[in-house]
Amino acid sequence: VNKWFEVSAYPSESGLTVYFRDVTERNKTQEAILQSNDRFKKVSEATNDAIWDWDIISDTLFWGEGFKTLFGHEMKENQSSSFLWSKNIHPDDLDDVLASLFDVLETNSTNKWEKEYRYLRSNGTYAFVIDRGMAIRDAEGKATRMVGAMTDITHRKEYEESLKILNENLEKQAKDLAISNAELEQFAYVASHDLQEPLRMVTSFLTRLENKYDAQLDEKAHQYIHFAVDGAKRMRQIILDLLQFSRVGRHEDDLEVIEVQEIVAEVVTLQKKIIEEKQANISIGDLPTLQTFRSPLLQIFHNLISNALKYTQEGRPSFISITCYSTNTHWQFSVEDNGIGIEPEYCDQIFIIFQRLHQKEEYGGTGIGLAIVKKIIDNMGGKIWVESVPGEGSAFYFTLPK
């Protein structure tokens, strides 16, 4: 009949009395309990958490394996009480933990309990844990049992702590940087104003000297005065350049949607005279629309195109091409020329302020242009570099994030 029976036999004078009792249901229940216990044991072994089961009425606590692996404590099954758990809680956290636990057990408004606290390991150090429990109540709503799990979150806490320290350091550095930037700007401003005044004096008195004593001065004297005035003029230009460099990154205008094509066209118009003089051919590819600041973008193209028009190879028609292509994250622009080119060893140096590769008699300039371009592009989160073959031409590439 596919059933379980419990059979009892009683001898009597006339024979034997035999009782058969159907115990199929009882056996099934026992089997289910065994399976369920086994499942619970396996789960508590498998997880990294310390699983616990607290019988509140008898104050007995069952601990999973995790309690030993996480904290190193030996716990005998069903021999521990809640005191053995609570005595390892960090003294500073204990009151708070117990208060929150009893709040859940006694108020009956929720069955869920969750708390973060420090828990003593067997080696004397404290682990950060998050403990979550679920209260089980009897028909009257009294909490009779609670099951839960402790998770070791020490790594997370330490990571959070190190992130916090890192953030604080970064904030401090950013603040220091802002202060030193402001100081530098102030310095450049004061220097440019205060230095210009004595410079003007030098130039104007030299010119007066020249005018007043014209007849007494020989040609050598005139030449010396000319050199001195020229030096003062160059110094003025350097001061103005420095001021301009220090101002890069301070946006006085607003973010705009800008057709790069228009910016390039504007630069080309501004350079019309030199383009005609040099009979330069300028080809402009498809250029994107960007949301950015107008004047720095204009400065970038102005400097790169001016250089392409300045450093041309004599006796060769000049070709300049401006293109852009799109990567996943950036726009990559290029300004290419067929000019004099740059020796590979100077390809980094030219982006440093006041670094030039030529005498001013050969090609005019102060060596500020590319430094400004680089500072603008760095500020915008892009990169600039040059690829060049001496005698054949240069290609300046720069990227801007989309």
Positions in the binding site for ligand ADP (CB under 6 A): 303, 307-308, 311, 337, 339-342, 350, 356-358, 365-371, 394
- Report the SS3 class of residue 89: strand
Closer Cβ to ligand ADP, 88 or 334, answer by number: 334
Closer Cβ to ligand ADP, 261 or 355, answer by number: 355
Cβ-proximal residues to 259 (8 Å cutoff; 6+ apart), any chain: 287, 289
Q: How far is the CB of 175 from ligand ADP (least distance, A)?
A: 31
Closer Cβ to ligand ADP, 135 or 350, answer by number: 350
Instruction: Using the CB atoms, write b or e for 301-310: b if 16+ within 10 Å.
Output: bbbbbbbbbb
- Report the SS3 class of residue 360: coil
Closer Cβ to ligand ADP, 80 or 388, answer by number: 388
Q: How far is the CB of 300 from ligand ADP (least distance, A)?
A: 11
Closer Cβ to ligand ADP, 263 or 320, answer by number: 320
Query: Which uninterrupted H or E stretch holds 386?
Result: strand 384-389
Q: Which residue has the tokens 């699983």?
A: 51
Report how far Cα 208 is from the mean position of its chain's Cα atoms.
59
Q: How far is the CB of 365 from ligand ADP (least distance, A)?
A: 2
Question: Exposed, middle or buried: residue 383 (CB in 10 Å: 0-12, 13-18, 19+)?
Answer: middle
Among candidate residues 204, 206, 208, the one with its CA nearest the CA of residue 223: 206
Q: How far is the CB of 299 from ligand ADP (least distance, A)?
A: 11
Closer Cβ to ligand ADP, 85 or 301, answer by number: 301
Q: How far is the CB of 274 from ligand ADP (least distance, A)?
A: 13
- Structure tokens, 346: 């100077």
Residue type for 296, please? P
Q: How far is the CB of 265 from ligand ADP (least distance, A)?
A: 20
Q: Select the residue whose beta carbon is closest to ligand ADP and give its number.
A: 365
